[in-house]
Structure 1
């Protein structure tokens, strides 16, 4: 029988399977230590896929190499130098180092943390083969000492990773955020004393006295016109310690709510964003990296021991190679690459740890001061961006037109390959996150926080609002009854889709439609006008600019929320309802309508919107279609017609405020773990809104104010 695999290929595989796997494993470790942190800074699907692939391959390749080293003992190639087997055994601890992974990534998803037990068992299953090789060659292995040192370093690294996964698992993370147990005043002792005094016929009574709140805070008073980098860092870490309990679904104390509101209501919007960025970065590093393990006393000790072990192993190997020439030159080169690579990885990890936010916070806690040495200040100022700063947008009208443009796209859609992954590639766009959009959202939420103050009922009303709270304002009295059914009489997903389509129709049928790519260039108004006509022109220009800006906000938030509803179903699961089915039904009706109107190109986007808006909708669609279809296309057209009755400035003012409520409703009602998961994929604007709402006190995760009354025993004479 003819062997389908030539002997030459078998020989090449036999010589290179271990060497190639080890070098590939080293390359993966270097790539991950340098680029793993990019996943918090990019929403690029290709980059995230590449990092995910390397993360999975790193373990697979290391396990493959350890297994082949173990099976190769006693089956060496006769042409190999005499001590090649001992050198292979010396390589096995490096693979334990690689299985320990870099500090920059322990988990790719939150679910990975829940598998810490599996990693613990995997530790045992990989250490045992390495230990077997160590014992097998103990007597005649001249590299036994450096092998032991590297074995020790590898075990430490693997334990670090397993412990980091354990600490980030949801049960343990929740446990770590709990307050210390508090039994309260000693009721049993008080009642015993009270009873004994009564039995002694002494005049005794119990009075209730007040006590100060044990959780106190110092009100924030600005000492500088702007927050310094150090103040941003310290405040972010302080609030991270308080609000991280939200991830474990725990409530925050009322005094902490007051402290947070007091601080954030005194910030400029960009300062608040900086604090939130650093706070979420702390959360990302706790959940997805080794930060908690590394920045601890045990972490410092273990890191010192493992690094010294690697350096000592290199020194011993250099001395040994000079004294004995019993290894192949290439294998010696591979060994040097592994040793130097291990030291390089440790050095990179060391510098990352020294210049990390955790180190700066630890140093300022141990030696409080308002200024830092130059190297620490540089570490804060020179930081890379902490999230992608992009907003993904998706548009129902554009999608319906583009899926019909050519047969390739139609095949992709009809075969189901377009679901989510292909749709993201073909139809989702990324827009740059702008500070003016953040200032608008921040201002709207601050106004609501000011209305709520310490009134939890009002705060809960705002938290539950999805467009209806803004309609309570007196200026919208005339429109409340006609617009409220599109908010309160339907589910959130249906409401969001209707307001999205209505926004799109109005945006594209207005003669003064702004260009989203160029509008920023027109944001300056000439302030040098002196006469009355020029002042009037200035006011008109300011009014037009306000309308254009609000249109831009509405368009971006509308497309962004549709992207989340359709493309991020896991994140939006708590509020999505039948959103995907409703979206698909709406698309089917839109395509049928476009076919009838002979609108067959994405270039006819404005015409499509105009035709939908102009189509007669005197009878409610549900009276014609019943509930057979969940399409909201012409319901949205009816909503757009109602909004068109307002003058332009009022229309876009109302729409922009409704969209902020729709965004904040989704942000507040999505699961906290869904927000946390997005931190490893570039982050989401919705997560920043969620955390800002929490800091403003606009959430249901606060404890009711506690009574601080205490009983006191009084004995009369």
Structure 2
């Protein structure tokens, strides 16, 4: 049991870092992480219980008792993972009770079986290390709980207003420093600027993840938002680093090493473990213990040191360290050395933001089910749902073209939002305008594709609104997903790849991603009966495919488009949208065949409709649900939502006018960014 507990520590050390990387194996890593996280505490508890129930006569040698403090050390866990899910943070009080009981059991067992030999005192350093590690874990769980996480926003401020804070003369003016100017004055390394920007923006926007609202003065709104001219690569890179900062705070013990006290505690733990190794090596020769038990003891000691060293190396390459090393004026930077610090920054600066996005194609999935021996598994919904999520989800790279398309769409919305303010720039901004401003923002965020139809001046555009405005959001996703699938493969059959440009691929990527959210992440979307519609639509598609001999995507798309009017009427209780999806595809196809549109023009419209749906979903998803999936690397939806917040495109941010009487007292200091709590509405 002790060896199994040590093995699980190594596993947790690996999966704690690996589970944040998205890709083909991410779902399986998540399952493995859950199993290891739950099993680690269970194995350790069982081992302590077995020792507690044993009798003195049953104990073959005293060396087994020396392993007791290692079980406490294993309960503390490695630095790469403190919680598997957010619910673990909320149960920190239960873990605290476990600490009291487990430490009591370990102490009692050690006293019960202990003797007066030197080995008994050799375990004291390991008891110190084990208790410190266990306390650290509970402290981190408590700090990451919802209540403490929200309170931490206010904990660092002692004044009532940020704007009247006494700052240096360089920042006390009516034109506060921009973030770029601030970084230039601090001589931040060019490669490390993204980490510095991400850190300050993370501190500013962290209240959003507590479901709190930001109230930003109009005079300072440019300080809180990404510049309009920022590139897509830089924008997504900054957002990714911010989310990694947040993930470390919620799911790992890395935050401990950010303080001097935490570094001192880690030093004590390492020295205590090293002292135990030396003491044991000296005293073990005086007793005749079984060779296997001696080997196990050395494994436990070596494992403890190995986990500490790996944690230190992991932290040395973390975003937190790179942030601190990016400024040559930093004391840590001087201690490490300029060349080493610059090398670390350059190694870490190669990241390019989110790299993969999940994909799920409903019709393609039905084809796979039809051709496999699992086709009858639909009769067991729970098993099929598991297979659908984990066995039939593919991954595609989020390339630079997709990032540019997303950022460009958001910037266009930002420009529309700014124009409504520019029109009133010469007028006195009062409360009524602020209310109008906020209502306009809400209206813009509620667009689900209707604005695209209006902007592109599509003939008979009202005939398309039934698929966007007259149905619930999940229903609309299914309709456009089926239509996109049919048109994608039908166009690839009819046209060469050179005719179908970038928007065709982007449409397919966003379509399959939104379908993945509807199927596997329904809580991130507005409420509806999407799961019922998916099930009924899948049943109808499989029934249709059973009548077809060909199993090629191109042929299936053609068959569905040709026979859409020959479908039997759906059952009265069926929520299938297959027929309506085919009808929508035919209407979109008619734009090219009857209205002589260019195929790329059609795909540009479809891509923008999907983009508006993605923005709508991002604006409606609660930040708590975004936090939930950070442990798996974070969804593209989360990156888009935070990017929108950086442009002011969120209902959780209100832009207000600072009272004219206080404008003269406007003061700003980037070093005191913790006073952002004064802007909470």
TM-score, with normalisation over the residues of structure 1?
Answer: 0.80
2:562 pairs with one of 594, 614, 622: 614
Distance 2:68 2:179 in 1: 57
Q: Which moved more, 1:650-659 or 1:375-384?
A: 375-384
Deviations along 1:682-702, one digit per CA (max 9) or x if unpaired, are 332111111111111111010
* Counterpart position of 1:140: 116
2:293 is the counterpart of 1:337: no
Distance 1:368 1:457 in 2: 45
Shift of 1:342: 1.2
Count residues with an aligned counterpart.
Answer: 620
The answer to whether the 8 Å contact 1:216/1:255 transfers is no
Alignment of 1:466-481 (within 5 A): 466-473=448-455, 475-476=456-457, 478-481=459-462
2:257 is the counterpart of 1:294: yes
2:388 pairs with one of 412, 420, 423: 423
Distance 1:505 1:593 in 2: 15
Q: 1:617 to 1:260 in 2, by over 3 A?
A: farther
Shift of 1:638: 2.5
2:82 is the counterpart of 1:106: yes
Secondary structure at the aligned position of 1:431 is classed as strand
* Counterpart position of 2:577: 632
Secondary structure at the aligned position of 1:630 is classed as coil
* Counterpart position of 2:678: none
2:659 is the counterpart of 1:708: yes
Distance 1:711 1:227 in 2: 36
2:9 is the counterpart of 1:29: yes
* Counterpart position of 1:306: 269
2:333 is the counterpart of 1:367: no
Secondary structure at the aligned position of 1:697 is classed as coil
Shift of 1:307: 1.6
Q: 1:446 to 1:388 in 2, by over 3 A?
A: closer
Shift of 1:171: 1.4
Q: 1:627 to 1:697 in 2, by over 3 A?
A: farther
Distance 1:420 1:377 in 2: 48
2:318 is the counterpart of 1:356: yes
Secondary structure at the aligned position of 1:339 is classed as helix
Alignment of 1:388-403 (within 5 A): 389-403=355-369
Q: 1:632 to 1:178 in 2, by over 3 A?
A: farther
2:571 is the counterpart of 1:571: no
Shift of 1:247: 1.3
The answer to whether the 8 Å contact 1:233/1:275 transfers is yes
2:418 is the counterpart of 1:437: no
* Counterpart position of 1:95: 71
Distance 2:376 2:297 in 1: 52
Distance 2:391 2:304 in 1: 42
The answer to whether the 8 Å contact 1:116/1:166 transfers is yes
Alignment of 1:94-493 (within 5 A): 94-136=70-112, 140-178=116-154, 180=157, 218=178, 220=180, 228-255=190-217, 258-259=221-222, 262-322=225-285, 324-362=286-324, 367-368=329-330, 373-383=338-348, 389-406=355-372, 408-416=373-381, 418-453=383-418, 455-473=437-455, 475-476=456-457, 478-493=459-474
Deviations along 1:64-109, one digit per CA (max 9) or x if unpaired, are 22222333351335xx4xxx22x22221111111110000001111
1:46 pairs with one of 15, 28, 35: 28
The answer to whether the 8 Å contact 2:179/2:223 transfers is no
Q: 1:164 to 1:495 in 2, by over 3 A?
A: same
The answer to whether the 8 Å contact 2:644/2:650 transfers is yes
Distance 1:214 1:296 in 2: 34
Distance 1:711 1:52 in 2: 53
* Counterpart position of 1:653: 604
Q: Which moved more, 1:581-590 or 1:121-130?
A: 581-590
Alignment of 1:1-40 (within 5 A): 21-40=1-20
Distance 2:173 2:371 in 1: 66
Shift of 1:214: 10
The answer to whether the 8 Å contact 2:481/2:515 transfers is yes
Secondary structure at the aligned position of 1:40 is classed as coil
* Counterpart position of 2:39: 57
Shift of 1:551: 0.7
Distance 1:347 1:700 in 2: 44
Q: Give the number of the structure whose alpha-carbon radius of gyration is greater.
A: 1
Distance 2:580 2:189 in 1: 48
Q: 1:450 to 1:333 in 2, by over 3 A?
A: same
Q: 1:400 to 1:329 in 2, by over 3 A?
A: closer
2:644 pairs with one of 668, 693, 712: 693
TM-score, with normalisation over the residues of structure 2?
Answer: 0.84
Distance 1:711 1:271 in 2: 35
Distance 1:331 1:228 in 2: 54
Shift of 1:114: 1.0
2:514 pairs with one of 547, 550, 561: 561
Structure 2 unaligned spans of 5+: 163-171, 422-436, 592-596, 664-681
Q: 1:456 to 1:332 in 2, by over 3 A?
A: same
Distance 1:565 1:588 in 2: 17
Secondary structure at the aligned position of 1:703 is classed as strand
Q: Which moved more, 1:120-129 or 1:460-469?
A: 460-469
Distance 1:630 1:214 in 2: 59
Distance 2:398 2:184 in 1: 30
Shift of 1:599: 1.2
Distance 2:86 2:310 in 1: 25
Shift of 1:607: 2.7
Distance 1:362 1:265 in 2: 27
Q: 1:584 to 1:34 in 2, by over 3 A?
A: closer
Distance 1:365 1:378 in 2: 13
Secondary structure at the aligned position of 2:524 is classed as coil
The answer to whether the 8 Å contact 1:513/1:548 transfers is no
Shift of 1:562: 0.7
Shift of 1:710: 4.3
2:503 pairs with one of 550, 556, 564: 550
Distance 1:95 1:601 in 2: 59
Q: Which moved more, 1:159-168 or 1:388-397?
A: 388-397
Secondary structure at the aligned position of 2:396 is classed as strand
Secondary structure at the aligned position of 1:674 is classed as helix
